[in-house]
Structure 1
């Protein structure tokens, strides 16, 4: 018996809700920001990355986001469309907001990332812009925590989650915690708890689950306790990412297991989580067991961090299968 019922009679596999922005990557590897001579421009933002990860493997991905009415906003739309991401849910803000911008070094560790998110376009999404008919087209709705950090995007995201529940669309919450986005630990804990209560699958690392459980006290840093509490409600699967230690999976039926990482030469320290999430969700949609899906996600994460950029580094199905055939986990 499957833990979650994924409706196969939907034209879209996953709709991702949240930020879509521009990433500027240093052209020179292992060079400090102050000495970097040039940058290359790519589409970025966690929901956009996840949508591209799905599309690169032949899945049908859509996105609900908002970009500015300027060349950077148009670049984001053009890039996502080029990857095959459905843009029916993309909004254009004409009121002076700006598409998010991330400027980053290219280092395997200690990588500086400078973010520009003042009056970010994606956070201007409004509840009345959420289209229940569009959400009904998806097997899965994935929302990210950053979209919950500020109004009116917060209310828009919660509205989309409710529309998904009514439509029988599986709801996935990627906690995607960014401290600068929130007013206080109490605020993020309250909102994350509300959103997790509406979600079938919750994805995050230990720090992010600590944020969710901030109001619960000191005992909240224990993985098993976290799972025990969250799985009492609507949530059926928890994917707890643990960096070099791999990931832990907890299920409402009592099943639990760990997935080790695939060792690779790391080019950059980010993008792996989005590659992991997109790949694992698509594998579940395509009928893989949870263990198979998480193993594929771990492999996709390894491929991503062994390459430059985030979106362009998402593996195709052929690349993923070739990697799995030639690489083994680090146990």
Structure 2
């Protein structure tokens, strides 16, 4: 069993690389919650992943990769009747990525809440998920049920929005659905881009509403620009390290992994999170550490293999 349990999609990123004769696509294991699990494990934490992949060549690749990086895969199911999801990742001249998804009736969407044993949630201190398991009714129901069970088990609930328009059959449904889950979480992370894409001119009002409704920690990242974090009545601003980015694919996931790793180090769970936030300097130090994790990842190509180990962080100034 593990302390930081990440739930959701594990898929294959088909990363486009320019080569002789045109673009070549290289398969690499990824998926936002899977990236976070690997990120926590590479930093030295105890992380596990719950979800489902196909019993195919790509699913087997994911299982091997997660295990190889030290992630507990005992809760990762395999399906003989459905395939592993794929995402084609393209980079522009500024190293920003775009995605095309192949995710119709794939194994990750068919995972059900009763596949996760109660003992797993009772053993965990942190339960992490993203919005890609809210896109369709059945997997959305699974996500809601697991969040409810995790809360009852005393877990801290971490929610990284990680919004991908192409995964929503009707993306206009996303703002309300994502907002509903955000209200149930202890940590909510948006990027500025997705916050504005989802809520437009009401983006700042949504932040204020979540704060008023008692979300303990709300983080709004903005790439290389100033990161803002809202905890109670306090607003923190963190300047990310300046780096030469080559691939931002897993940078946000790396940030989340760094933050959850610091909470893991301090043995924080749902019950003690507000007290941790109230301790002077704790949140600021954790955000600075998480920002360095994200910065290191942006200087590397890939997902799992781009996530840092502790020694890698020395190369990035605070």
Alignment of 1:307 with 2:300, yes or no, is yes
Alignment of 1:282 with 2:253, yes or no, is no
Q: Take 1:140 and 1:314, find their aligned partners in 2: how far apart are those partners?
A: 20
Aligned partner of 1:47 among 33, 37, 51? 33
Alignment of 1:272 with 2:254, yes or no, is no
> What are the residue-to-residue correspondences of 1:315-330 with 2, within 5 Å?
315-320=308-313, 322-324=314-316, 327-328=317-318
Aligned partner of 2:7 among 12, 17, 40? 17
Q: Deviations over 1:298-319 (max 9, x none)?
A: 1111110101111101110122
- The change in CA–CA distance for 1:200 and 1:185 in structure 2 (over 3 A counts) is same
| TM-score after normalising by structure 2 | 0.88
Q: Take 1:193 and 1:285, find their aligned partners in 2: how far apart are those partners?
A: 26
TM-superposed CA distance for 1:109, in Å, is 2.8
The answer to whether the 8 A contact 2:97-2:249 is kept is no
**Larger mean Cα displacement after TM superposition, 39-48 or 273-282:** 39-48
The answer to whether the 8 A contact 2:255-2:293 is kept is yes
Q: Take 1:228 and 1:132, find their aligned partners in 2: how far apart are those partners?
A: 35
> What are the residue-to-residue correspondences of 1:99-138 with 2, within 5 Å?
99-105=84-90, 108-109=94-95, 111-138=97-124
Task: Specify every segment of 5 or more residues in structure 2 that has no aligned partner in the other structure, as ranges.
Answer: 267-280
Task: Specify every segment of 5 or more residues in structure 1 that has no aligned partner in the other structure, as ranges.
Answer: 1-10
Alignment of 1:60 with 2:60, yes or no, is no
Alignment of 1:229 with 2:209, yes or no, is yes
Q: Take 1:146 and 1:18, find their aligned partners in 2: how far apart are those partners?
A: 7
- The change in CA–CA distance for 1:162 and 1:234 in structure 2 (over 3 A counts) is farther
Please give the secondary structure, in 2, of the residue aligned with 1:88.
coil
Q: Take 1:84 and 1:221, find their aligned partners in 2: how far apart are those partners?
A: 38
- The change in CA–CA distance for 1:161 and 1:46 in structure 2 (over 3 A counts) is same
The answer to whether the 8 A contact 2:96-2:247 is kept is no
Please give the secondary structure, in 1, of the residue aligned with 2:137.
coil
Q: Deviations over 1:159-214 (max 9, x none)?
A: 110111111100011111111222334421222122112111101112433466x4
TM-superposed CA distance for 1:76, in Å, is 0.8
Q: Which residue of 2 aligns with 1:248?
A: 228
User: What CA RMSD, in Å, does the superposition of the two structures yield over aligned residues?
Assistant: 2.2
Q: How many equivalent pairs are there?
A: 303
